[in-house]
Amino acid sequence: MATNGNNGWRLTRRQELFCLKYFELGNGTEAALQAGYSPHTAAVIASENLNKPKIAYRLRELRDKTADASVMTVLERKRKLTEIARGNLLDYQEVGADGSYLSVGKESPNTGAISEITSRTEYTEDGSNAAVITKVRLHNPIQAIAEMNKMDHVYSEGATVNVDNRAVNIIVASEEDKENLQRLIQGERT
């Protein structure tokens, strides 16, 4: 038996191999086959294994071990999306004695909202005056808001209901039981 982490659960050698192969392949049946389970039962074993708490815990452990600082956390993603949603062109404009100009620096708010900055210089016909024209394009704040709503499951509506064609057959032993059942169905509670 193989012990996994500090959870106290013990996995068999095959279960541990199943976890490693499932983590690698993402296919339960193939993971079960490579872990040594029978080809006849591999799909069933895979389904059963994936529903076991100790297997789920081990897979979560494996995912956590592969996460590193280069991958954004949920909080970091939400912060970035918030920055995009709150971005405003006025955040990057300053007005001084020479007119209005673009100012983007480390101290500027919501710089993550900037999608693109382009700049070009235009001259008068005689070349005596020049003007720098800078365009700032921001990311779409509505898309950022929609992504945050998805992350927070704002669009989810209540419980999921599965509709199927199940039928309930109640078998009664006597005519009296049948009458009692009919009264219950009709709402009588006495």
Instruction: Reply yes or no on whether the pLDDT at 33 is more than 60.
Output: yes
Instruction: Reply yes or no on whether the pLDDT at 159 is more than 90.
Output: no
Task: Name the more confident of 6 and 76.
Answer: 76
Q: Are residues 80 and 33 in the same domain?
A: no
What's the pTM value of the predicted model, to 2 decimals? 0.44
Q: Are residues 103 and 135 in the same domain?
A: yes
Tally of domains within the chain: 2
Q: What is the pLDDT of residues 80-111, one digit of tens each?
A: 899 899 988 888 777 777 767 777 877 788 88
CA atoms within 13 A on the CB side of 138: 22
Task: Name the more confident of 146 and 72.
Answer: 146
Query: What one-letter code names the amino acid at 101?
Result: Y
Within-domain flag for 18: yes
CATH number of the domain residue 10 falls in:
1.10.10.1400
Q: Which of 43, 66, 89 is the last residue of a domain?
A: 66
Region 163-182 average pLDDT: 80
d(CA 134, CA 119): 4
Q: Are residues 98 and 61 in the same domain?
A: no
Instruction: Reply yes or no on whether the pLDDT at 30 is more than 80.
Output: yes
Instruction: Reply yes or no on whether the pLDDT at 163 is more than 80.
Output: no
Within-domain flag for 121: yes
Q: Which of 66, 86, 113 is the last residue of a domain?
A: 66
Within-domain flag for 132: yes
Within-domain flag for 187: no
Q: Which of 66, 94, 120 is the last residue of a domain?
A: 66
Q: Are residues 88 and 28 in the same domain?
A: no
Q: Is the dihedral of CA 57, 60, 64, 65 positive or negative?
A: positive
Within-domain flag for 160: no
Within-domain flag for 168: no
pLDDT for 19 equals 92
d(CA 114, CA 80): 11
Strand partners for 94: 101
Q: Are residues 60 and 6 in the same domain?
A: yes
Q: Are residues 82 and 118 in the same domain?
A: yes
Mean pLDDT of the chain: 82
Residue 87: which domain range? 76-144
pLDDT band at 162 (very low <50, low <70, confident <90, very high): low
Instruction: Reply yes or no on whether the pLDDT at 73 is more than 90.
Output: no
